[in-house]
Amino acid sequence: MPSRRSFLTMAAGLAAAGAAGPALAQFRVEISGVGATQVPIAVNRFRDEDRAPQAIAPIVRADLERSGVFRIVDANATLDETGSPSFSEWRGKGADALAAGSLTRLADGRFDVRFKLWDVVKGADLVGQSSAVPAADLRLAAHRIADTIYERLTGEKGVFSTRIAYVSKAGANRYQLRVADADGEGGQVALSSVEPIISPSWSPDGKQLAYVSFESRKAVVYTQDVATGMRRPVANFRGSNSAPAWSPDGQSLAVTLSREGGSQLFVMSRDGSNVRRLTTSQAIDTEPVFAPDGRTLYFVSDRGGGPQVYRIPVGGGAVERVTFLGAYNVSPAISPDGKTLAFISRSGNAFRLHVQDASPGGTARALTDTTDDEHPSFAPNGRLIMYATRAQGREVLMTTTLDGKIKARLASAAADVREPVWGPFGR
């Protein structure tokens, strides 16, 4: 059964449309850019969603638009999943696909969420679903609908129901490690501190976060169970302990320790035992990140003079330099398929997000034209990169497609937000 994007007719003229404006003020989604080919989709408001604590269609629209794959066509008809849409009418509005549904309060207080997706061009049903959820899960239900639409039309898994973690800073003494939906909404506090928190890292099963806390006035690595809040220090040696990175099998952590002088890479069991030194340079070696096959560690080293991205076999061995653009490259992130490296490259006073092949000497491309980019993190489907940057004097989180064409600014409260990490599939 065909389910690729090419399944739907795409008019080249769609690209001529201006940049999509803010999808909906209430969600503070700001999307900029135009993709070369985008699928025009109409997401009609869901019947009775205005009477529910949380409307579904606006979240679905914002998700699909942020992916860069879709262009939202206005839709405000009287239509739900049981209807028979007039396909010629929807074709006339420029839609290739149409989604509609309903939101009904059940006797037990939960909500029955139903939707259907149609191929307007072919005039046929594509998929329909229903689920009963408590009010607290309405946002998640909307994200799951967006995932279903995305998967049905692109053939790839959607990331809309995944989570992110990030650090927010309000004033000089208020730091929070927060867990939110991938659109930045629904943030919950995992940790509050008067001292800085940096470098959060998701365990591969999405159940734990490792991070660096300065609560004892030095850098110490902790792991914390997200659901229960149980936490433990796993690296608290003399000097600074930082940059935790989970191995893909979830059993090990790579960390940067200064316990033997300088900043060097070590690998240890997830509980902090079995500490083994991995790098032995006189330089700074830090920011480790595992390749998805778990066999190679990418990291930052200034052994060549300035910081560059290198890689080393996890079991030890030859260190190989990977980045060659300019004199300062930091913050590596590897795509889930292991093929693409994202990193921050400095040119003058501008720090900018770049991508290149993960193997040495690939050609690097800038993805932004901002000047204070930090901390890239790939979505688990490899199609988006989340990063932190500065806009209008505030620290904000952004997502970008890998070609740099579609960018979205994530919802956030007034605080400065930074250090985003995208969680895995499955919640």
Distance CA 187, CA 70 (A): 26
CB of 301: closest distance to other proteins in angstroms?
Answer: 10
DSSP 60-74: HHHHHHHTSSEEEEP
Least Å from the CB of residue 176 to other proteins: 9
User: What is the rounded CA–CA span in Å between residue 427 and residue 424?
Assistant: 8
**Site for other proteins (CB under 8 A): which residue of 227, 361, 363, 426?**
227
Q: Which stretch binds other proteins (CB under 8 A): 147-155, 257-265, 273-281, 290-298?
A: 257-265
Q: Which amino acid is located at 391 in the chain?
A: A
Selected from 57, 60, 191, 210, the binder of other proteins by CB under 8 A is 191
Strand-pair category, 407-409 with 320-321:
unpaired
Distance of CA 326 to the CA centre of its chain: 27
Among 239, 248, 292, 360, binds other proteins (CB under 8 A): 239
Q: Which residue has the tokens 């070369």?
A: 36
User: Which of positions 194-223 make contact with other proteins (CB under 8 A)?
Assistant: 194-196, 198-199, 212-219
Q: Which residues contact 371 (CB under 8 A, 6 or more apart)?
A: 349, 350, 351, 352, 390
| Contacts of the segment 168-171: beta carbons below 8 A, 24+ positions apart | 168/412, 168/413, 168/415, 168/416, 168/417, 168/418, 169/196, 169/395, 169/415, 169/416, 169/417, 169/418, 170/414, 170/415, 170/416
Backbone angles phi, psi at 220, to 5 degrees: -130, 140
Size of the site for other proteins (CB under 8 A): 58
The correct pick among 192, 280, 359, 363 for binding other proteins (CB under 8 A) is 192
Shortest distance, CB of residue 229 to other proteins, whole angstroms? Answer: 3
The reply to whether 179 sits near other proteins by the rule CB under 8 A is: yes
Under rule CB under 8 A, which residues in 152-171 are in contact with other proteins? 170-171
Give yes or no for a contact between 79 and 59, defined as CB atoms under 8 angstroms apart: no
Q: Footprint of other proteins on residues 270-309 (CB under 8 A)?
A: 284, 286-287, 300, 306-307
Give the nearest distance from C-beta 241 to other proteins in angstroms. Answer: 10
Establish if 425 lies at the interface with other proteins (CB under 8 A). Answer: no
Q: Which two tokens stand for residue 271?
A: 């509980």
Kindly write out the interface string for residues 340-379 of this chain, putting x where it contacts other proteins by CB under 8 A and - elsewhere. ----x-x--x-x----------------------xx----
Q: Which residues are at the interface with other proteins (CB under 8 A)?
A: 170-174, 179, 188-196, 198-199, 212-219, 224-229, 231, 238-240, 242-243, 256, 258, 261-263, 284, 286-287, 300, 306-307, 328, 330-331, 344, 346, 349, 351, 374-375, 419
